[in-house]
Structure 1
Amino acid sequence: MTRDPARLDGKLAIITGGGSGIGEATAHVFADAGATVVVAGRRLEPLEKVAATIGGHAIACDVSNQDEVRELFAKAATITGRVDVLLNNAGGPGPIAPVADVDMDAWIGCMNINLVGAMYCLQEAAKIMSAQGAGSIINMSSLMGIQGYPMRSAYVASKFALIGITETMARELGPKGVRVNALMPGAVSGENMDRILARRAEAEGRPAEEIERENYTDVAALKRWVAPEEVGRAALYYASDLSSAITGDKMKVDCGRF
């Protein structure tokens, strides 16, 4: 019987930002595909709920703290002796303000989580996977990783940078058998997007519903939000052998916002 290339049986996957949203949805998708899943994030309680539901593992970790990231990967590696997949997903929306007025402490804080934190995870994954001679790294960029967007300079800068790092690491790690790709979700439904809409409505002085239609749903070919599970299924493609010849790639999951 030929093995199903969409399965992750026997593989261990780390998902940062795994307690909610895309991370939580992907944890379910990976577990359903047979993976042992480690969900990581700053708050242990939501992680433990996700882990209990999928038969996985919860490890508290603030990705902006390098020591905590090292501990996360060291603990995860003891579970099966390997780390086969990293979904580098932890991040935040950052400050919402014009460049001229943005709070630079908040701007730098966003970069420390979305970019520096991502790099801490990439360093550990690169070491472990290179030694194994195999692995799949998936960086969570954004549609804002290939096009600028008003009021979101910190988030845009961090997500553009992740695309460049993805292409760099794909070339560095390819000879070791490790693949590195990036996902670029558009507007994904959920609590995070609700918060962003509320903050934009306050900053722009107009209704959230108007901003939603004008910027997110009406401009999409499918005229709707992306569901977190849909991003999770795209992540499974990159995590599994369905994409065994693909590295240095970036994929939009955006309901057609082109």
Structure 2
Amino acid sequence: MAVREAFNPIEAVFGKIDVWVNNAGYQNVNQPILDIDINEWFKCFEINVKGSFLFALEFLRLSKPDAVLIILSSILAHYGVRQGHCTGHSGHSASKTAITKAMDIIQEELPTVRIVNLHPGLIARAMSAKIGNTAVSMDSVDLPAHFAVWLVSPEAEFLKSRLVWANWDVEEMKTRKQEILEKDLLRLELTGI
């Protein structure tokens, strides 16, 4: 398997891995569901789900028991469809939601590893222009980089198995730690029944 072969030199040089930031991502062209190119739509699943899963799996095979895995997620996986943000983005939204749920299941199977799903913010990149998202105020690429460094620290342990956004206030999250844990917030699940 090509992914496993990509990890061989990492293992040979560094041994067990402490941290992995998984940044597989693909966005099909923003189109109404009846107009989509079905191959482009499923390419979202090939890259966002299968690609992320394969790299996460190889990382987990080589990781230390208390390693941290950050999956770069998407705002479209976190928003509800009633908010209107997913229209035209069904492939990206559904595939990012699928990998988020898969990571929840992996987290349950490997409780000593810390897995966090991180929405990096609105970063200008080729995918943004592809979907016509150039007018939106963009975040700096430094934002998710700095946030990820904090996210792997012991101070952020309470965010294990949760969904977070890089543009959230770290100090506020720390003050809400007990609330997040007690109310089991920041998860992708059915609640309120």
Scaled by the length of structure 1, the TM-score of the pair is 0.58
Separation (CA, whole Å) in 1 of partners of 2:151 and 2:13: 22
1:183 is the counterpart of 2:96: no
In structure 1, the residue matched to 2:153 is: 240
In structure 2, the residue matched to 1:110 is: 44
1:153 is the counterpart of 2:85: no
Scaled by the length of structure 2, the TM-score of the pair is 0.76
Change (3 A) 1:92 1:78: same
The structure with the larger Rg is 1
Separation (CA, whole Å) in 2 of partners of 1:237 and 1:170: 20
Change (3 A) 1:123 1:160: same
SS in 1 for 2:131: helix
Aligned residues: 164
Mapping of residues 1-258 of structure 1, within 5 Å = 67-129=1-63, 132-147=64-79, 148=81, 149-174=86-111, 177-197=112-132, 212=135, 216-217=136-137, 225-254=138-167
Separation (CA, whole Å) in 2 of partners of 1:234 and 1:166: 20
Separation (CA, whole Å) in 2 of partners of 1:234 and 1:240: 10
2:155 partner letter: L
Separation (CA, whole Å) in 2 of partners of 1:242 and 1:191: 34
Separation (CA, whole Å) in 2 of partners of 1:93 and 1:226: 18
Separation (CA, whole Å) in 1 of partners of 2:124 and 2:168: 12
Separation (CA, whole Å) in 1 of partners of 2:120 and 2:76: 9
Separation (CA, whole Å) in 2 of partners of 1:245 and 1:73: 29
SS in 1 for 2:17: coil
Percentage of matched positions with identical amino acids: 23
- Asked whether the 8 Å contact 1:145–1:162 carries over to 2, the reply is no
Separation (CA, whole Å) in 1 of partners of 2:152 and 2:22: 12
2:77 partner letter: G
TM-superposed CA distance for 1:90, in Å, is 1.9
Unaligned ranges ≥5, structure 1: 1-66, 201-207, 218-224
TM-superposed CA distance for 1:119, in Å, is 0.8
RMSD, aligned α-carbons: 2.1
SS in 1 for 2:36: coil
Separation (CA, whole Å) in 2 of partners of 1:250 and 1:170: 13
Separation (CA, whole Å) in 2 of partners of 1:248 and 1:80: 26
In structure 2, the residue matched to 1:7 is: none
Change (3 A) 1:190 1:106: closer
1:106 partner letter: E
TM-superposed CA distance for 1:254, in Å, is 4.5
SS in 2 for 1:115: helix
Separation (CA, whole Å) in 2 of partners of 1:106 and 1:192: 13
Separation (CA, whole Å) in 2 of partners of 1:151 and 1:255: 26
Change (3 A) 1:77 1:240: farther
1:184 partner letter: H
Change (3 A) 1:238 1:143: same
- Asked whether the 8 Å contact 1:143–1:254 carries over to 2, the reply is no
2:32 partner letter: P
